Amino acid sequence: MNDHARTTGSTFIDASEQEMANAIRALAMDAVQKANSGHPGMPMGMADVATVLFNRFITIDPSRPDWPDRDRFVLSAGHGSMLQYALHHLVGYPDMPIGELQRFRQLGSRTAGHPEYGHALGIETTTGPLGQGIATAVGMALAERMLAARYGADLVDHYTYVIAGDGCLQEGISHEAIDLAGHLRLSKLIVLWDDNRISIDGPTSLATSMDQPARFGAAGWNVSAVDGHDAEAVAAAIEQARRSDKPSLIACRTVIGKGAPNLGGSEKTHGAPLGLAEIEATRANIGWTYPPFELPGTVMRAWRAVAIRGQAARTAWERRHQSTPQREAFDRAIAGEVPAAVFEALASFRSEHFEKATNVATRKASEMALSIINAATDLPVGGSADLTHSNLTITKDMGKIAPGTFAGRYVHYGIREHAMAAAMNGIALHGGFVPYGGTFLCFADYARGAMRLSALMGQRVVYVMTHDSIGLGEDGPTHQPIEHLAMLRATPNLNVFRPADIIETAECWELALKAKDRPSVLVLSRQNLPMLRTMAPGANRSARGAYLMREAVGRRDVTLVATGSEVEIARAAADLLHERHNVRAALVSMPCWELFEEQDSAYRAEVLGKAPRIAVEAAARMGWDRWIGERGDFVGMIGFGASAPATDLYRHFGITAEAIADAALAVTQKD
Amino acid sequence: MNDHARTTGSTFIDASEQEMANAIRALAMDAVQKANSGHPGMPMGMADVATVLFNRFITIDPSRPDWPDRDRFVLSAGHGSMLQYALHHLVGYPDMPIGELQRFRQLGSRTAGHPEYGHALGIETTTGPLGQGIATAVGMALAERMLAARYGADLVDHYTYVIAGDGCLQEGISHEAIDLAGHLRLSKLIVLWDDNRISIDGPTSLATSMDQPARFGAAGWNVSAVDGHDAEAVAAAIEQARRSDKPSLIACRTVIGKGAPNLGGSEKTHGAPLGLAEIEATRANIGWTYPPFELPGTVMRAWRAVAIRGQAARTAWERRHQSTPQREAFDRAIAGEVPAAVFEALASFRSEHFEKATNVATRKASEMALSIINAATDLPVGGSADLTHSNLTITKDMGKIAPGTFAGRYVHYGIREHAMAAAMNGIALHGGFVPYGGTFLCFADYARGAMRLSALMGQRVVYVMTHDSIGLGEDGPTHQPIEHLAMLRATPNLNVFRPADIIETAECWELALKAKDRPSVLVLSRQNLPMLRTMAPGANRSARGAYLMREAVGRRDVTLVATGSEVEIARAAADLLHERHNVRAALVSMPCWELFEEQDSAYRAEVLGKAPRIAVEAAARMGWDRWIGERGDFVGMIGFGASAPATDLYRHFGITAEAIADAALAVTQKD
């Protein structure tokens, strides 16, 4: 083994891979014991596989953890986080001293219970919710191929390695992800499956009889199966996987908690400390004589050789980078700065359609804005979960991503909302692109797990969610969102935009592109909507989250607050109130609650006013009381929708100018 | 073909299956055209398969659509709803006259855009969100086997047939569902896959290269592939599937929009009317000479023979039912009435633990309540998505469901939250059981699609969702719910219970079991909580959604409203306010918003009081302003959680008695 390691570029090895792996085992069991919380079984079981992977293959430079052409490593089985933290300490990430491992799972440490993107260098993605890692890695591997197609193998040529557990492969998202990866032939994606046959409840045979290798084979993957404690077998399988023209699954048969003489192989090692007695017995069993958190120099030197090998690769890459004419374009893509020309073009677009008073569905307005954006920058990578011509997410000359063909900019994600969201996370995390993808708003339900991670990781992922209310009509209640706006607005660090017309739609696209540390959801209508803007479109009014679209004439008796397709109806209600009842209503459009919350209280008070308020949205009331106040009321949906033409539904559910006016009259009389 | 149909029990056939199938084609294309909305392609493509299935195999009695031993038919590809409505009209469901087909997708019709459970007789489940049907059918097939294990094949012996499309099989939920079905060897589940190789964006080859038969084979299914327009081949495959000891996939190679001479085989037939010219051409092409919505007597008679065959089977079953000693027990199970003894036992349980002042985590309290419930009735079927000993969902002597063994009451659903939820829907819809299943609250995200359908269909499914806040501690933000309570509370027709102690937990279980037309979510703590109840536990206080747990002494300066684990903290704040500041705080526990909303305004006003209010919940604020009012404040979570011991997190995020007291002081001074 030493010989092999030498041949892959290490300069001096004086510890066997067995000892290197035992260092992981010791760190994992000791840190979990000290925290009195955590999962020792997986790190101990996969220590040998991880050692071979890092010692012989992975190219990373811990001194430059954001080097663009590094290999990506994703610990999909995120509960085994001590495996990652042990590796990070051993290869010498500067922010991972032994003290961090001693503070495993404590407040403010870098060693959170599950790997958290941004908490420590080298963590490529947040994992923990099972299956997210493998699906995110599909996006990373896709981004690698797309970036290589643009900038060539001199600049972009790296692998994406995943360690996945039984849970990752049982979750539905894994199906969507491996189908997509197999279809696109993402040959540089290599998944090492910890085939330990144990899950939390006990043996996996309690709940599954799946032939995983056959399943991956059916999805077009290259498959092998090895003894996960046989380093040479693991290495041979990885070698073979790197040469394959398909993505690869390596089933690594392992013993969970390997090394623990009494508990090894049992679910008892999965999610609880081994206990001091078993830890002592394990030390004896594996011949590890060092105290907790102490590592011998021989082992440390062996591990640091991984970093030295990576550093050499990185400096070689930098030389290539210096000499390539594509350097500046590549660097701009990696920086992810949307060019100013995009925003200038969007400003012209707003002026033009303000003049024309263009009436279109906001999904159509989004398509028109995207045409402008995609013509002015090639950062965006679009797609849809098989609703391209409903979501209107494709624009001219984008070029399609297809099996083995990665020069395009549009991904047919298939009927796979969850994998689409996770893949977009991976594309954003990888760098070089701004991913956006479409589905119906109602199917945010299917993508929830990954959308939450977009927000938690602060990634610029843009969700284009059309058919955003009962306005979609005949498809009925299964397709009509009710609680979805509340669900998304309640999610921290996520901007939810519901524009009312073509001007706001362009504004919201601009804001989504500018929000570099936050995902955005564009919530768009199926039905046509008039251009409502009255003020000249110079300033981006949506940027403050809500604004006075039309002040009341003379005095303000009531304020009507609405979003999206209901702003038009609220405007009609305001007219009706004035004409028939001499009640003066101000009209507020509120395309983004989150941005409005960020405004100072003076602005918010000015917009909301002191008169009673009626909020109007064809969705659940949840959350609106914040803006309505105690004297106001809400016009929207009480229960689920129904199947009928949209205009019938608005009437049936009482979301009409007349109903809004009645509600306004009731609160103004109360007043 | 006629000969064959005769041998399966039909009395008189005078139309060929080809004509029977063409009747479906005509009704589908004409109804979609009339509605100017809908999906003709799938009904036309699967008309032959559906005709063979219904004509030769399915045993249903349209005059008794709820006959317990009927075969179940699930149109998983729910957008093809006209296939189902055409079949229902043809076999003679009494609520499906031709007028309903003429009102396809109109307000108030039974023929909604997608099949809606409860809208028309014989619709076994709501479908439309792709993949839900196949996963729900797994629950139905499981319920059939469990009920057969209890009551014998004389009373329970039927098949579950599914028609699924490419979308159903691409969605992740299908993976979870087929893995579970294959593992459990649900041999009476037969899935007919509409292998038309077309999805909305175009050919499925845009997005998938999956070898579906190999994939199902890997999951332990019996697999065959046939020409979906060859009736004898389809029939032979169904015959073989019925004999298999595994669940079966029959890949039916079809032409979408079959019969349409110009558009057949194209995605253009998927989701839009064919147009009058193409409809005329189709009529000529298939030799269908009748005007829209008119059917010849020969065809109607042939179809009605299906009902006659089913009626004979149903009357035979009724004779068996009459003569079995198990009759009464079976009928009670099907009625789904929880025996009074359960509620008496729960009342005693509450008294006992009120006396003992038992301090336990509410997840533990749930386990204790379940022990009482499961001992007093065998209606509940429990399970967990691989978190049995965290969710505490198993009780003594439940017996486990295992491959081919269905006498038990506990299902290891595997790491498959979505399929668990859908399977529970299927179990509830099938009848005979009350399903409950556990996961962490955070992973409600993964189950969302099916949870929404529980609510939309009004099914008594109980979700046991533990580890309900930052109180879970070290696992960190990926596992700590923030927006989930808002997401669930915003969902119509769903009771969300967050009990504060053992007494409330037992009360909430009682309410969940009594809510026959609504799913419930029990949101439970990982951490221990004291018994808080002060009033004698005779009445179920949780039944009104919120109640005054402790009135303020003398006067009410402020009202503290809290749920679950934060009630204890709010109580400590009330004590602190009284002792240190002479501020008198009333304490309200609000375990269920939905039930509180249903109370009259006098009760709500009495509970909430006129003093300013502070709401306390370790979750997002979204929705709380409804209860807080304009003068109050909220103590809870602003952003995502963190990884640390729970007590550190509560301090770190400022959810403490001191912080609540400070907030109360601020609003009372403001007052």
DSSP reduced 3-state for B615: strand
Contact (Cβ atoms closer than 8 angstroms) between residue A288 and residue A22:
yes
Q: Using CA atoms, how far apart are residues B485 and B481, in angstroms rounded to an integer?
A: 8
With CB atoms and an 8 Å threshold, state whether B448 touches A446.
yes
Whole-number Cα distances in Å, A607 to A547, A599, A603, B306:
6, 11, 6, 65
B408 touches chain A (CB under 8 A): no
Instruction: Please report how the helices B417-430 and B444-457 are oriented relative to each other, as an axis angle in degrees rounded to 10.
Output: 20
Enumerate the residues of chain B whose CB falls inside 8 A of the CB of residue A171.
172, 176, 415-416, 446
A363 touches chain B (CB under 8 A): no
- In single-letter form, the type of residue at position A648 comes to D
pLDDT tens per residue, range A208-246: 999 999 999 999 999 999 999 999 999 999 999 999 999
pLDDT at A536: 87
Mutate to test the interface with A, among B208, B517, B597, B649 (most CBs of A within 10 A): B208
- For A307-332, b/e burial (b = at least 16 CB within 10 A) is bbbbbebbeebeeebeeeeeeeebee
Mutate to test the interface with A, among B125, B173, B201, B593 (most CBs of A within 10 A): B201
With CA atoms as reference, report the closest residue to B68 among B169, B161, B148, B1: B148
pLDDT at A80: 98
Contact (Cβ atoms closer than 8 angstroms) between residue B568 and residue B616:
no
A103 touches chain B (CB under 8 A): no
Q: What is the pLDDT of chain A when averaged over all its residues?
A: 96
B481 touches chain A (CB under 8 A): no
Backbone angles phi, psi at A473, to 5 degrees: 80, -120
> What is the mean predicted confidence (pLDDT) over B283-304?
97
A443 touches chain B (CB under 8 A): yes
Of B417, B504, B568, B617, the active-site residue reads B417
Contact (Cβ atoms closer than 8 angstroms) between residue B642 and residue B595:
no
The two structure tokens encoding residue A640: 């689920």
Mutate to test the interface with B, among A32, A196, A201, A627 (most CBs of B within 10 A): A201
The separation between the first and the last C-alpha atoms of chain A, rounded to the nearest angstrom, is 83
Output Rg (C-alpha) for chain A, integer angstroms: 28
Kindly identify which residue of chain A lies nearest to residue B411, measuring between CA atoms. Answer: A207
Q: Using CA atoms, how far apart are residues A358 and A502, in angstroms rounded to an integer?
A: 7
Statement: residue B73 has pLDDT above 50? yes
With CB atoms and an 8 Å threshold, state whether A478 touches B130.
no
Paired residues of A436 in beta bridges = A462
With CB atoms and an 8 Å threshold, state whether B218 touches A214.
yes
What does the DSSP 8-state code read for residue B71? P
Mutate to test the interface with B, among A111, A183, A483 (most CBs of B within 10 A): A483
Phi-psi region of A529 (alpha: psi -120 to 50; beta: other; left: phi over 0): beta
Residues 6+ apart with CB under 8 A from B180: A207, A208, B138, B413, B414, B416, B419, B423
Is B319 exposed, middle or buried (CB count within 10 Å of its CB: 0-12, 13-18, 19+)? Answer: exposed
pLDDT tens per residue, range B397-421: 999 999 999 999 999 999 999 999 9
Q: Using CA atoms, how far apart are residues A60 and A57, in angstroms rounded to an integer?
A: 10
Nearest to A214 among B217, B449, B493 (CB): B217
> What is the mean predicted confidence (pLDDT) over B96-112?
98
Q: Using CA atoms, how far apart are residues B262 and B279, in angstroms rounded to an integer?
A: 10
Enumerate the residues of chain A whose CB falls inside 8 A of the CB of residue B130.
415
DSSP reduced 3-state for A194: strand
Q: Using CA atoms, how far apart are residues B88 and B95, in angstroms rounded to an integer?
A: 9
> What is the mean predicted confidence (pLDDT) over B552-561?
95
Query: Is A417 noted as a catalytic residue in this protein?
Result: yes
Q: How many CB atoms lie within 10 A of CB B11?
A: 11
- Chains A–B, number of C-beta pairs less than 8 Å apart: 357
Enumerate the residues of chain A whose CB falls inside 8 A of the CB of residue B38.
474
Q: Using CA atoms, how far apart are residues B121 and B114, in angstroms rounded to an integer?
A: 14
Nearest CA-CA distance, residue B403 and chain A, Å = 9
DSSP reduced 3-state for B434: strand
> What is the mean predicted confidence (pLDDT) over B260-283?
97
Sign of the torsion formed by the C-alpha atoms of A235, A241, A242 and A244: positive
The two structure tokens encoding residue A504: 């706001």
Kindly identify which residue of chain A lies nearest to residue B401, measuring between CA atoms. Answer: A206
With CA atoms as reference, report the closest residue to A636 among A536, A532, A547, A565: A565
Beta-strand relationship, B222-227 and B202-203? unpaired
Q: Tell whether ipTM is more than 0.90.
A: yes
A325 touches chain B (CB under 8 A): no
- Segment 582-621 of chain A within 8 Å of chain B by CB: 620-621
Nearest CA-CA distance, residue B280 and chain A, Å = 25
Residues 6+ apart with CB under 8 A from B396: B371, B375
pLDDT at B536: 87
B646 touches chain A (CB under 8 A): no
Nearest to A175 among B114, B174, B217 (CB): B174
Residues 6+ apart with CB under 8 A from B637: B470, B482, B618, B619, B620, B653, B655
Contact (Cβ atoms closer than 8 angstroms) between residue A48 and residue A17:
yes
Query: Where would I find the beta strands (DSSP E) of A12-144?
Result: 72-75
- Segment 194-233 of chain B within 8 Å of chain A by CB: 199-201, 204, 206-212, 214-215, 217-220
Nearest CA-CA distance, residue B352 and chain A, Å = 31
What does the DSSP 8-state code read for residue B472? G
With CA atoms as reference, report the closest residue to A635 among A489, A488, A469, A505: A469
Nearest to B626 among A128, A625, A644 (CB): A625
Contact (Cβ atoms closer than 8 angstroms) between residue B23 and residue B90:
yes
Q: Using CA atoms, how far apart are residues B425 and B138, in angstroms rounded to an integer?
A: 10
Enumerate the residues of chain B whose CB falls inside 8 A of the CB of residue A446.
129, 171-172, 448-449
pLDDT band at B10 (very low <50, low <70, confident <90, very high): very low
With CB atoms and an 8 Å threshold, state whether B209 touches A629.
no
With CB atoms and an 8 Å threshold, state whether A476 touches B130.
no
Q: Using CA atoms, how far apart are residues A140 and A73, in angstroms rounded to an integer?
A: 10
DSSP reduced 3-state for B658: helix
pLDDT at B140: 98
pLDDT at B15: 84
> What is the mean predicted confidence (pLDDT) over B46-54?
98
Instruction: Please report how the helices A132-151 and A444-457 are oriented relative to each other, as an axis angle in degrees rounded to 10.
Output: 70
pLDDT band at A670 (very low <50, low <70, confident <90, very high): low
Enumerate the residues of chain B whose CB falls inside 8 A of the CB of residue A219.
209-211, 215
With CB atoms and an 8 Å threshold, state whether B200 touches A474.
no
Q: Using CA atoms, how far apart are residues B63 and B315, in angstroms rounded to an integer?
A: 11
DSSP reduced 3-state for B91: helix
> What is the mean predicted confidence (pLDDT) over A631-652?
97
DSSP reduced 3-state for B191: strand
Statement: residue B300 has pLDDT above 50? yes
With CA atoms as reference, report the closest residue to B68 among B310, B344, B331, B389: B331
Query: Where would I find the beta strands (DSSP E) of B228-307?
Result: 248-253
Output Rg (C-alpha) for chain B, integer angstroms: 28
DSSP reduced 3-state for A93: coil
pLDDT tens per residue, range B315-360: 999 999 999 999 999 999 999 999 999 999 999 999 999 999 999 9
Enumerate the residues of chain B whose CB falls inside 8 A of the CB of residue A597.
none
- Segment 146-175 of chain A within 8 Å of chain B by CB: 166-167, 170-175
> What is the mean predicted confidence (pLDDT) over A78-97?
98
Beta-strand relationship, B547-550 and B585-589? antiparallel
pLDDT at B9: 39
B246 touches chain A (CB under 8 A): no
- Segment 38-97 of chain A within 8 Å of chain B by CB: 38, 78-79
With CB atoms and an 8 Å threshold, state whether A445 touches B456.
no
Statement: residue B156 has pLDDT above 50? yes
The two counts, helices (H) then strands (E), for chain A are 27, 20
Nearest CA-CA distance, residue A537 and chain B, Å = 32
The two structure tokens encoding residue A463: 């969700």
B475 touches chain A (CB under 8 A): yes
C-alpha B31, offset from chain centre: 29
With CA atoms as reference, report the closest residue to B575 among B586, B564, B566, B565: B586
With CB atoms and an 8 Å threshold, state whether A179 touches B208.
yes
pLDDT tens per residue, range A6-32: 334 344 446 899 999 999 999 999 999
pLDDT tens per residue, range A514-564: 999 999 999 999 999 999 999 988 899 999 999 999 999 899 999 999 999
The separation between the first and the last C-alpha atoms of chain B, rounded to the nearest angstrom, is 83
With CA atoms as reference, report the closest residue to A467 among A273, A649, A223: A649
Q: What is the pLDDT of chain B when averaged over all its residues?
A: 96
Nearest to A412 among B201, B482, B642 (CB): B201
pLDDT tens per residue, range A488-507: 999 999 999 999 999 999 99
pLDDT at A237: 98
Statement: residue B304 has pLDDT above 70? yes
Statement: residue A2 has pLDDT above 50? no
Beta-strand relationship, B547-550 and B222-227? unpaired
Paired residues of A466 in beta bridges = A440
Kindly identify which residue of chain B lies nearest to residue A642, measuring between CA atoms. Answer: B107
pLDDT at B8: 40
pLDDT at A14: 66
DSSP reduced 3-state for B627: helix
pLDDT tens per residue, range A404-440: 999 999 999 999 999 999 999 999 999 999 999 999 9
With CB atoms and an 8 Å threshold, state whether B487 touches A486.
yes
Statement: residue A4 has pLDDT above 50? no
Q: Using CA atoms, how far apart are residues A6 and A384, in angstroms rounded to an integer?
A: 47
A182 touches chain B (CB under 8 A): yes
pLDDT at B670: 59
Nearest to A167 among B107, B415, B477 (CB): B415
With CB atoms and an 8 Å threshold, state whether A639 touches B493.
yes
Kindly identify which residue of chain A lies nearest to residue B391, measuring between CA atoms. Answer: A201
The two structure tokens encoding residue A215: 């399943």
Of A17, A124, A267, A417, the active-site residue reads A417
C-alpha A208, offset from chain centre: 28
With CB atoms and an 8 Å threshold, state whether A210 touches B199.
no
Enumerate the residues of chain B whose CB falls inside 8 A of the CB of residue A115.
none
Q: Using CA atoms, how far apart are residues B28 and B41, in angstroms rounded to an integer?
A: 9
Contact (Cβ atoms closer than 8 angstroms) between residue A111 and residue A101:
yes
